[in-house]
Amino acid sequence: MTDAVRVIRRGATIEVTLDRPKANAIDAQTSRELGGVFTDFRDDPGLRAAIFTGAGDRFFSAGWDLAAAAAGEAYESDYGPGGFGGFPELPGLNKPVIAAVNGMAAGGGFELAMCADLVAAADHAVFFLPEAAAGVIPDVGAVRLPRLLPAHIAAEVLIAGRRLGAAEALGFGLVNRVAPGDELLDAARALADRVCALAPLAVAAVLDIRRRTEGMTAAEGLALMRSGKIESYRRMLSSEDALEGPRAFTEKRDPVWKGR
């Protein structure tokens, strides 16, 4: 582990901090390191949520490291098993990643926030995509942002450089919570704690189903769920936890989840 990526375990949650002054930009080596962190997170049965944030209060992440690019690092480098940033394309990651956006989320930094399952933002956070000014496009943003924002707003962000403040992002549903900067991690931890209180197999099934049915109609998605082809859904239905939930409700006690 290098100084660029710090990991702290807090109960069933890990907190991953990107620390690459001055703008928390990500080069291929750092992305591969993040991929290793999130692979370990995926494979650890004792972990249920991850919080991803940047060091400092100015930049969440400036995205792709243009200094590395200027030194010859290719735009389509090997970014590791989870793609750029470590988690967006990681196979089998059915645990929630919570982005705690502590400042500017530019380019790939904004794309990482788009790929997170939940987002908490500092009240001074700003989201924007400057790639067109650098002669490239935001690959993930070009696909995802029009699905997350009204068409004309997405177009203005993508091709006219519009910046979205935290309050505006909240209004558009891009973030779940906005908090003062010094309360941001508390807001993200509160989201993580709520996730960790739920049945882990149910959470995994929801995330898996959401990803597998993206782009399908509701009827197509339901048909896929009921086809028996989604292992996480089958596992959840036949689990001990599926019996524990109703039992705990009738016995008026908190459920004890076993993840099996």
Report the catalytic residues: 111, 131
Joined together, the tokens standing for residue 53 give 């944030």
* Cβ proximity of 154 and 113 under 8 Å: no
* Cβ proximity of 33 and 4 under 8 Å: yes
Phi-psi region of 143 (alpha: psi -120 to 50; beta: other; left: phi over 0): alpha
Give the ranges where 28-135 is alpha helix by DSSP (H): 28-43, 66-70, 108-115
CB atoms within 10 A of CB 91: 8
Beta strand 126-128 with 13-18 is unpaired
CA 256 to CA 189: how far, in whole Å? 21
